[in-house]
Chain A
């Protein structure tokens, strides 16, 4: 495992200090119960430069790379999985604008978002399409000087905070489905946009989820991100970054659970000794340590590819798959180690487990990841 650079270590240290001071686990429990977003903590994180550390400095980002963003994601989620993942997810989608947006769009959407003034919400998922978004039914019909948007998007996260949506729509009836989709920036403050807030979920409750219906929304040409028909291409590229971010959050969840398990086994006594002395417990810890280290290696490798401007579908999918599985297995075994206490909300571990599951089903589960990895690998063999 390579070592972080001096600057990366400083970021890690700063992130640790911030999270240690601000991410109170009891507060996190409350937020989770009531489904409240930690807005104040987000704003502080923004002011201190933790948010968008990988995005262009010119527009308010940190001007650094995905590895630095991985460090922030992982560190925050280690201190608290719910608060950490919620604040880091509040800027999902900005990578699209940074990479493919016009200078105007970067000024009008990326910059305010990075100040915390107008946050994004990515709207691409529709029921029945799985992760193959080329099958979407939201349409943007061409009209004079723009388009007319109609459609229904599901599981739109951050809709409560959103200043604008990034919407995937069908703009052409092309032979090849890969060339018929486009991405648009849509202001959220619009009476023709109907929001139906979803009920409580198993996890990720600090982040709101909604079904958004767009009815005859007028879009002007300056709201198109990049080129018409390239939406699918942009989104596929974007998922590389989002997978790495999600994987880093999952790694944080695994670490949060692992640290709790380590502390517990050193204190808890049964059968006349500390349970840390039992070989089966030692092996559970060893399993956890292995899973965490493997996940970390996979994530850093995928992040490194992104930073060298060669985002790698195989590496990103692999990182997400492995890290999310690690988060699930490590938190499940931590619950098991805690016994009855692991099942009580007071001890937080059950919350980490639920956050891990919510993360694992985001943007595709095991089947989708394996499909992507297979496509990436088999494609190359040709």
Chain B
């Protein structure tokens, strides 16, 4: 049924990645969840093993591979027991801004480190007063000779503590029309005026170092701008689509894994003397979920294909993002029910999935924003 053209190379890559996760990530996952951060070495190791920035072209030190490798990364990392080492975020959501819009000099300067894992990236758009309303950001970028001065604060930034390089969305305060005043800038860790706030405590994704970032008269070279001044909003709209697709890929794979897990559990666990799998209510519930998962997988694969063929699939991308996030949350809720009280214990990992998945309807664009864009695409 699959319409994606996975070659033998893709299959081998997936195997290699699974083995890597089993030996290098899973054994550490519990520790990282406890410490609420992933050691930078883990990023370097992942990069050295060839798993970061697979799409970056070879001329910048990348692997020059197609998007299906990114799909494989987004899928298999879901089963790595942790969320701090967010390879997909770095490789397929943030780094593309650099490869598409940075100056040649900056591409040569930063991309090799992104590939090797020595340069961990973050992207800072959200502010306390600007979430869904991205255009209302208040962080300012004021030119002063050869430099740009940034002032403002960002929140909910993934890789916020670990990042070596962050893309910051900031506005020219002199431009009236909000959407035309935003630009994107590269800021290196260690730049005076750039500091981290607290490491934010979250319901789930404990190993992910989400943080606040502060810019206080932070001076960066003018050359650190991405693309044209004032085209920040357009660049964001363009690249956010892939962010939403990557998010959907993880959701659907997570749902598929959860389904396998609950089927196995139903066979091995008894209720009233019978395996759960023999109870009609369980059979029907799982059949319903298998159908929901398959429907989402079918649309997802269409969107991946359309994305790779550069078709106009804005609406479909928003659809699969919100659909897969809502579906996987309902699924994990029901799976926990089937596991019963036993499922509540953190050591069984269903509870961790329950906590981790709740954010998927919110980040990378809320369900409500997705519906707004879909409606727009329908001419509404």
Question: CA A346 – CA B296 in complex, angstroms?
Answer: 34
Give A204's nearest chain B residue, CB to CB.
Answer: B344
Q: How far apart are B274's CB and chain A's nearest CB, in angstroms?
A: 9
- Min Cβ gap B43→A in Å is 23
Selected contact of A343 from candidates B281, B338, B342, B362, CB within 8 Å = B362
Identify which of A201, A272, A339, A365 contacts B132 (C-beta below 8 A). Answer: A339
Could you list 13 examples of A-B contacts with CB < 8 Å? A130-B270, A202-B336, A270-B132, A336-B361, A336-B366, A336-B368, A343-B202, A343-B359, A345-B202, A345-B203, A365-B338, A367-B282, A371-B281
> Beyond the given A203-B344, A350-B355, could you list 13 further A-B residue pairs with CB under 8 A, ordered by the A residue number?
A130-B271, A130-B272, A200-B346, A202-B336, A202-B355, A204-B344, A272-B133, A272-B136, A336-B368, A340-B363, A342-B362, A344-B202, A357-B344
- Contact yes or no, A350 B133, CB < 8 A: no
Q: Could you say which residues of chain A place their CB within 8 Å of the CB of B133? A: 270-272
Interface size on B, residues (CB 8 A): 48
Question: Any chain A CB within 8 A of the CB of B200?
Answer: yes
Q: Is the CB of A361 within 8 A of B362?
A: no
Q: How large is the interface on A (under 10, 10 to 19, 20 to 34, 35 or more residues)?
A: 35 or more
The 4 closest A-B pairs by CB, nearest first: A130-B271, A350-B203, A365-B337, A270-B133
Min Cβ gap A165→B in Å is 17
**Distance (Å) between the CB of B340 and the closest chain A CB?**
6
Contact call B344/A358, Cβ cutoff below 8 A: yes
Residue B333 lies at the interface, judged by CB distance under 8 Å to chain A: yes
Residues 340-367 of chain B, each 1 if its beta carbon lies under 8 Å from chain A, else 0: 1111111100010011001101110011
**In the complex, are the beta carbons of A198 and B345 less than 8 A apart?**
yes
B15, CB-defined interface residue at 8 Å: no
Would A339 and B271 be within 8 Å (CB), given that A270-B131, A350-B203, A353-B358 are in contact? no
- Against A, the Cβ 8 Å flags (1 = close, 0 = not) of B215-249 are 00000000000000000000000000000000000
Cα of A330 to Cα of B265 in the assembled complex, Å: 29
Q: Across the interface, which residues of A come within 8 angstroms of B345, CB to CB?
A: 198-201
Q: Measured between C-beta atoms, what is the minimum distance from A196 to chain B in Å?
A: 12
A335-B202 contact in complex given A200-B346, A361-B341, C-beta closer than 8 Å:
no
CB distance from A157 to the nearest CB of B (A): 10
Per the bound structure, the CA–CA distance linking A340 and B336 in Å amounts to 24
In the assembled complex, B201 has its CB within 8 A of some CB on chain A: yes
Complex CA gap A357/B218 in Å reads 45
| Cα(A382)–Cα(B377), bound, Å | 56
Chain A residues contacting B354 (CB-CB under 8 Å) are 202, 357
In the assembled complex, which residues on chain B have CB atoms less than 8 Å from the CB atom of A336?
361-362, 366-368
CB 8 Å contact bits of A259-272 with B (1 = contact, 0 = none): 00000000001111
Residues 302 to 357 of chain A near chain B (Cβ within 8 Å): 328, 332, 335-336, 339-340, 342-346, 350-351, 353-354, 357
Partner pick for A345 among B136, B201, B270, CB 8 A cutoff: B201
**Known A199-B346, A280-B368: A132·B358 in contact at CB below 8 Å:** no
A343 and B344 within 8 A (CB): no
Which B residues form the contact surface with A (CB < 8 A)? 126, 129-133, 136, 155-156, 200-204, 269-273, 279, 281-282, 285, 329, 333, 336-338, 340-347, 351, 354-355, 358-359, 361-363, 366-368, 371
Question: Taking the nearest CB of chain A, how far is it from the CB of B348, in angstroms?
Answer: 10
Neighbouring A residues of B342 by C-beta, 8 Å: 127
Interface membership of A370, Cβ < 8 A: yes
Contact A361 B344 (CB under 8 A): yes
CB-based contact A202/B344 at 8 Å: yes
Distance of B157 from chain A, by nearest CB (Å)? 10
A155 surroundings in chain B (CB, below 8 A): 341
In the complex, A135 has a CB within 8 A of chain B: yes
Min CB gap B177→A, angstroms: 14
**In the complex, what's the smallest C-beta–C-beta distance from B283 to chain A, in angstroms?**
11
- Selected from B131, B269, B367, the residue in CB contact (under 8 A) with A340 is B131
Residue A58 interfacial (CB < 8 Å) = no
What is the distance, in angstroms, from B196's C-beta to the closest C-beta of chain A? 16
- Tell me which of B285, B338, B340 has the highest count of chain A C-beta atoms within 10 A of its own C-beta: B340
Q: Would B336 and A357 count as touching, CB distance under 8 A?
A: yes
Q: Is A184 an interface residue (CB 8 A)?
A: no
Q: Does A13 contact B (CB under 8 A)?
A: no
| In the bound complex, CA of A360 to CA of B338 (Å) | 11
> CA–CA, A259 to B343, complex, Å?
29
- Taking CB atoms, residues of chain A closer than 8 Å to B202 are 343-345, 350
B contact residues around A272 at 8 Å (CB): 133, 136
Q: Does the CB pair A339–B136 fall under 8 Å?
A: no
Q: How distant is the Cα of A316 from the Cα of B368 in the complex, in angstroms? A: 36
